[in-house]
Amino acid sequence: MHYGYDSKVAVVTGGSSGIGLATVETLLGSGARVALCARTESRLNDVAAVLVRDHGEDRVMARALSVLDPQAVNAFAGEVEARFGRCDLLVNNAGQGRVSTFADTTDEDWRAEYELKLFSQIHPTRAFLPMLRRAKGAIVAVNSLLAYQPEPHMVCTSSARAGVQNLVKSLSVELAPDVRVNSILLGLVGSGQWSRRFAEREDQSQSRAEWYGALAARKGIPLGRLGDPAEAAAAIAFLGSPAASYITGAQLEVSGGLSRYI
């Protein structure tokens, strides 16, 4: 599906795997030029080589950096402006979940989780905001259903995710009407962590579809399966596109019906 990104430039953090990479591919397929970043340089270089092969060197830019390093993020923004001249969409995707209960989460864990979840949004937004304002662009935060529906075994991440959602809502008001700010709320998506758990399954005779189906049943997902990264990418591409031009401060669930809140 084409989302109308011809002549536009998108930036995707955490873009070398999973939902980030699927988003990069979706945006490139919709005509965008895309700058992506990730921490692991070797993997990023491998991914970038394939993207350049498939879409052309003039449409792909990749840089290895941590979004928790404001100087590195600012330098990345400067490079994007020098090369592409603009930024129409910022996808803040970097950050993984932490499995822990209140009893076994240390002060250091709390600080690290809050820093990761919040500053992975703050630093890129601050760095790319001047370009986004000029382009009348959009920001999409990749967040989790945990923001509204916390899990006791992910207490630290759930709390931080709620903070991200509050930030998204605040930004949507402060940056209007120049920049739209929305989020997607993920349920269980078949990313790298689930692939690793599948590889370590007790019954090695189970196929991936069988194992994922059993997991979906245990979790109570009405659609009976895990999401695909491309399905999350489609939601991101829509929210950043002209088709969503009157949507800001909103959240779009990509959870297979897992949410229980109203």
**Gap between the Cα atoms of 168 and 163, Å rounded:** 9
Domain count for the chain:
2
Same domain for 68 and 109, yes or no, is yes
Label residue 236 by pLDDT band (50, 70, 90): very high
pLDDT reported for residue 205? 81
| Omega prior to 70 cis, within 30 of 0 | no
Same domain for 120 and 202, yes or no, is no
Write the pLDDT tens digit of every residue in 8-59: 999 999 999 999 999 999 999 999 999 999 999 999 999 999 999 999 999 9
With respect to residue 209, please indicate whether it lies within any of the assigned structural domains: yes
pLDDT reported for residue 190? 85
Write the pLDDT tens digit of every residue in 163-220: 999 999 999 999 999 999 999 999 999 877 777 787 888 788 888 888 888 889 999 9
**% of the chain with per-residue pLDDT over 70:** 100
Residue 198, classed as helix, strand or coil, is helix
Same domain for 117 and 24, yes or no, is yes
Instruction: Please give the full DSSP string across 234-245, using - where no structure is assigned.
Output: HHHHHHHSGGGT
10 Å CB burial of residue 240 (0-12, 13-18, 19+) is buried
Write the pLDDT tens digit of every residue in 117-176: 999 999 999 999 999 999 999 999 999 999 999 998 999 999 999 999 999 999 999 999
With respect to residue 79, please indicate whether it lies within any of the assigned structural domains: yes
pLDDT reported for residue 262? 82
10 Å CB burial of residue 252 (0-12, 13-18, 19+) is middle
pLDDT reported for residue 224? 93
Same domain for 29 and 115, yes or no, is yes
Write the pLDDT tens digit of every residue in 55-95: 999 999 999 999 999 999 999 999 999 999 999 999 999 77
Residue 105, classed as helix, strand or coil, is coil
pLDDT reported for residue 7? 96
Segment 241-259 shows an average pLDDT of 97
Q: Which residue has the higher pLDDT, 191 or 3?
A: 3
With respect to residue 48, please indicate whether it lies within any of the assigned structural domains: yes
With respect to residue 256, please indicate whether it lies within any of the assigned structural domains: no
Same domain for 134 and 206, yes or no, is no
Same domain for 36 and 142, yes or no, is yes
Q: What is the largest CA-CA distance in the chain?
A: 55
With respect to residue 70, please indicate whether it lies within any of the assigned structural domains: yes
With respect to residue 4, please indicate whether it lies within any of the assigned structural domains: no
Same domain for 145 and 202, yes or no, is no
Same domain for 127 and 45, yes or no, is yes
Same domain for 42 and 68, yes or no, is yes
Describe the strand order of the beta sheet including 138-144 as a list of residue ranges. 60-64, 33-38, 9-13, 89-92, 138-144, 180-186, 251-254
> How far lies 41's CA from each of 48, 120, 130, in Å?
10, 18, 27
Specify whether the CB–CB gap between 13 and 89 falls below 8 A. Answer: no
Segment 94-103 shows an average pLDDT of 86
Q: Which residue has the higher pLDDT, 207 or 253?
A: 253
With respect to residue 162, please indicate whether it lies within any of the assigned structural domains: yes
What type of residue is 135?
A: A
Same domain for 215 and 236, yes or no, is no
pLDDT reported for residue 197? 80
With respect to residue 2, please indicate whether it lies within any of the assigned structural domains: no
Range of the domain at 133: 9-187+228-250
pTM for the full model?
A: 0.95
pLDDT reported for residue 149? 94
User: Where are any strands of DSSP class E within the chain?
Assistant: 9-13, 33-38, 60-64, 89-92, 138-144, 180-186, 251-254
pLDDT over 90 (residue 234): yes
